[in-house]
């Protein structure tokens, strides 16, 4: 799904950035370690376009900048929260499908557009 970053909160004490994104009828709040962002060379900013995929299996991870493996923490009506080693991802939307074990894959939209033309 394609999402646009609407806000970023940085928690320096925890060395974590919390990104709030929306698009395609979903709102996603995702916590990512600052170290992972540094290693990928990505400095998230409001307005950035991203591609995010959630699936029950890892599949091909080579085309993605960030891949996390996690588990279902809580599922409610139109809302699902996953934990990735203590980092949380909450999705809200009409058709949120919960997976017991989940792989979250993330890349910038310009990276996915560039890989399509390569």
Full pLDDT tens readout for the chain, 118 residues: 999 999 999 999 999 999 999 999 999 999 999 999 999 998 999 999 999 999 999 999 999 999 999 999 999 989 999 999 999 999 999 778 899 999 999 998 765 555 443 3
Residue 65 domain-assigned (yes or no): yes
Range of the domain at 69: 2-109
Total domains in the fold of the chain: 1
Distance CA 49, CA 21 (A): 9
Strand partners, 2: 51
Model-wide pTM > 0.85: yes
Residue 18 domain-assigned (yes or no): yes
H-run or E-run covering 92 = strand 87-93
Residue 116 domain-assigned (yes or no): no
**Which CATH number is 90's domain given?**
2.40.50.140
Residue 114 domain-assigned (yes or no): no
Residue 61 domain-assigned (yes or no): yes
Would you state the structure tokens that stand for residue 70, as one six-digit string?
A: 């996690």
Residue 118 domain-assigned (yes or no): no
């Amino acid at each position: 799904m394609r999402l646009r970053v609407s806000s970023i909160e940085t928690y320096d004490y925890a060395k974590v950035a919390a990104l709030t994104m929306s698009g395609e009828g979903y709102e996603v709040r995702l916590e990512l370690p600052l170290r992972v962002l540094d290693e990928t060379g990505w400095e998230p900013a409001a307005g950035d376009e991203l591609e995010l995929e959630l699936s029950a299996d890892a599949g091909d991870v080579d085309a993605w900048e960030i891949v996390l493996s996690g588990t279902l923490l809580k599922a409610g009506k139109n809302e699902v929260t996953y934990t990735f080693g203590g980092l949380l991802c909450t999705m809200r939307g009409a058709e949120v499908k919960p997976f017991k074990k989940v792989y979250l894959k993330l890349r910038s939209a310009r990276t996915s557009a560039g890989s399509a033309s390569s």
